[in-house]
Amino acid sequence: MAKTQPLAVSQQPAPDEQDKRSPGSFADLALFAPGGPFESYPGAAMVVGRNGLVLGANADAAALAGLLRSDPPQELLAAIEAALYGKSAQVNPLLVRSRSQFGGLDDVEAAGGISAAGDSATGRRQASGGDAPVEQALDVAVLPWVEGAAALLLGRDVTLERSLRAALVESRQRYKDLVEISSDFSWETDADGDFTFVSPRGALGYAASEIAGKSGRSLLADPQGLSPFSVTSAISEQECWVRDADGENVCLLVTALPLTTAEGAWGGARGLCRDVTDLRSQEVARAGAHHRERLLGHILRMVRDQIEPDRMLATAASSLLPALPASGAVIHSKSEDGGMIAAAVAGEAVPEAMLAAQVEAVLKGAVEVETGDETGVALSLATQYEGEINGVATVWRCEGTRAWQAEDLFVLREVVTQLGLANRQLVRQEELERLSATDPLTGLLNRRSFTEALEARFDWARKRGSSAALFYIDLDNFKQVNDRFGHQAGDDVLLRVTEILRAHIRNRDVAARLGGDEFALFFDDMSADAVAGKAKELLKASEQLKAQSGSPEHPLGFSLGIAAWDPGSQESLNSLAERADTAMYAAKRRGKGGFEVAAAIGVTE
């Protein structure tokens, strides 16, 4: 350590005055002279006489000397007083604060800053920087000197030690704060897997005192699973399901490290847990909602792709089986008499008595009905249109399958919305067919209804990419029947023609009387190769009409014009109709009683 120079003391009294107050104190000055015993003392050293007079000091005691000259703390004065009466004392710590930024001298306080100068000194300290940063901290020992004539003050600089201690405390608090905000609780277990520490605020609904000593494995939702509370290697955010104090499942993300003893043996674990139950629940809910939306979208697309309402209902019933899943499904439509008619059935049959009870409950005003017995469980929802019940959708699960869940109800409710519209369309279609779609005499579609039906069937064939064929039929020599036998005979012929046509079409094919003696047929799923065969069938059947002819020279019969539609041609409906009409007139020109197939689109004869 560098040698220090003795401190000049402005309060040093004259030699004769020293002799009178503190005999022998002149010798104290030599203690701090070059070569003296306190010259190389590693800290502050100072001798103070009675009345606070500094008799000698080394350079490191500048702060102490300045303190005694200005504003000494009460505790320091009391310690000096005790030493003058032969008792040693300590002042720990003595804090030296900088006041230069406030325009004053350094401020020194001891044990909380009690001033020896009374209220005025305290006021000066507060006014001039009591919160100023600490520049130096000293542990001061005050010892009796020269038989109580003076006091020896020896100071040890603890500024660095105090700063390190404060930094350590701050670091610990910072770590604690970070642990608290980054996790829901921290914990530590011993070699038996029992909790020896849990965050003071507790965990999983338990108070800290309740969980201390509890086995970590006892908290697991699956006690046979691996316990993150007894890890032998580090883990990071490992998902673990536990049960809280109420017995509810809780999902934790666990980060933990193993603990080892001084001998290197495993001694437990320490870690943090974060409760992510709500997050996982939200993820599951989002995934479930996404799945339901995709499933529902698929069902609705299949239903909407159908043209006919009855096909919509049939598609919906069959789609619900794998979607929910369900063992069986029945969709009822409300009839004109107010009852319910089964319009679509799929899968296993719903027990008759249970189904009847479900439907009856809906007819009485129930919107959703669920019943079950030893055979299974049924769920029925009313279909509605503009607030009026117009049908029932019933799904059924047989014994041994799970009960209906909320997600099942969600899907069925959305589908039922479309079914209400389909039921309404079914009723409307029946009304239209009954009121205006048919020819009054034959019961076949009239020209307007045929045109509408043809447009729908044509669009359907185009979407499916299936072939189709349009037949135009003209009744040969029909005028002679009317002229010779009258219109009633003519009507009888038209009714016979209707019977022939209906006998040679399928339920899904379309037949119409366009007016007078002109008829039309539309066949879907009929290839170009099949049209000639169908034409020959019709011509053969038309021979039945000869007995009703006006004369042998003018026999009744069919002239057929046929146009086959190729889905790859992109031909329009108008073009198809024009080709069929042209072919029909070509057949008439060739002598009647035959058929003509129009050349394919883009092909000329």
CATH of the domain at 108: 3.30.450
- Report long-range pairs for 344-352 (Cβ below 8 Å, ≥24 apart): 344/310, 344/313, 344/314, 344/316, 344/317, 345/317, 346/314, 346/317, 346/318, 346/320, 346/321, 347/317, 347/318, 347/321, 347/396, 348/396, 348/398, 350/378, 350/394, 350/396, 351/375, 351/376, 351/378, 351/396
100, 133, 163 - which closes a domain: 163
CATH of the domain at 348: 3.30.450.40
Q: Is residue 5 part of a domain?
A: no
Is residue 252 predicted with pLDDT exceeding 80?
yes
Does 143 lie in the same domain as 31? yes
Does 586 lie in the same domain as 502? yes
H/E element holding 255? strand 249-260
Q: Region 72-76: what's the mean pLDDT?
A: 87
Provide the residue range defining the domain that includes 144: 15-163
pLDDT tens digits, one per residue of 287-317: 766 766 776 676 767 666 766 777 888 888 8
CATH of the domain at 463: 3.30.70.270
pLDDT tens digits, one per residue of 536-557: 999 999 999 999 998 989 999 9
Provide the pLDDT for residue 179: 65
Does 420 lie in the same domain as 444? no
Angstrom distances, CA of residue 502 to CA of 12, 454, 521: 140, 17, 10
Confidence of residue 339 (pLDDT cuts 50, 70, 90): confident
Confidence of residue 471 (pLDDT cuts 50, 70, 90): very high
Tokens of 572: 């329009």
380, 402, 433 - which closes a domain: 433
Is residue 153 predicted with pLDDT exceeding 60?
yes
C-alpha span between 447 and 437 (Å, rounded): 9
Confidence of residue 434 (pLDDT cuts 50, 70, 90): low
List the Cα angle 26/29/33 in 5-degree steps.
145
pLDDT above 70: percentage of residues in the chain: 83
Q: Region 201-216: what's the mean pLDDT?
A: 91
Provide the pLDDT for residue 493: 94
Q: Is residue 2 part of a domain?
A: no
Provide the pLDDT for residue 180: 67
Burial 285-307 (b: 16+ CB within 10 A, else e): eeeeeeebeebbeebbeebeebe
Does 451 lie in the same domain as 584? yes
Does 35 lie in the same domain as 80? yes
Highest mean pLDDT among 31-40, 108-117, 138-147, 471-480: 471-480
Does 383 lie in the same domain as 234? no
Confidence of residue 50 (pLDDT cuts 50, 70, 90): confident
Q: What is the DSSP letter of 433?
A: I
Q: Is residue 257 part of a domain?
A: yes
Q: What is the DSSP letter of 349?
A: P
CATH of the domain at 250: 3.30.450.20
List the Cα angle 149/150/154 in 5-degree steps.
155
The total domain count for the chain is: 4
387, 406, 433 - which closes a domain: 433
Provide the pLDDT for residue 135: 75
Confidence of residue 1 (pLDDT cuts 50, 70, 90): very low
pLDDT tens digits, one per residue of 21-49: 444 444 556 777 777 778 778 889 989 98
Q: Region 423-449: what's the mean pLDDT?
A: 80
Angstrom distances, CA of residue 114 to CA of 68, 75, 129, 230: 14, 7, 14, 53
Q: Region 229-255: what's the mean pLDDT?
A: 92
Does 270 lie in the same domain as 213? yes
Provide the pLDDT for residue 602: 63
- Annotated catalytic sites, by residue? 517
Least confidently predicted of 59-63, 335-339, 426-430? 426-430
Q: Is residue 330 part of a domain?
A: yes
Does 399 lie in the same domain as 301? yes
Does 101 lie in the same domain as 192? no
Is residue 6 predicted with pLDDT exceeding 70?
no
Q: Region 227-254: what's the mean pLDDT?
A: 92
More confident residue, 116 or 223: 223
Provide the pLDDT for residue 126: 43
Q: Is residue 177 part of a domain?
A: no
Does 572 lie in the same domain as 442? yes
Mean pLDDT, the chain, rounded, equals: 82
Provide the pLDDT for residue 54: 86
Is residue 424 predicted with pLDDT exceeding 90?
no
Provide the pLDDT for residue 563: 94
Confidence of residue 114 (pLDDT cuts 50, 70, 90): very low
pLDDT tens digits, one per residue of 485-535: 999 999 999 999 999 999 999 888 999 999 999 999 999 889 888 999 999
Does 593 lie in the same domain as 445? yes
Does 158 lie in the same domain as 69? yes
Q: Is residue 281 part of a domain?
A: no
pLDDT tens digits, one per residue of 350-405: 888 889 998 999 888 888 888 888 888 899 999 988 888 889 999 988 876 677 88
User: Across the beta sheet with 376-385, what order do the strands follow?
Assistant: 340-347, 328-334, 388-398, 376-385, 368-373
Q: Is residue 505 part of a domain?
A: yes
Q: Is residue 581 part of a domain?
A: yes
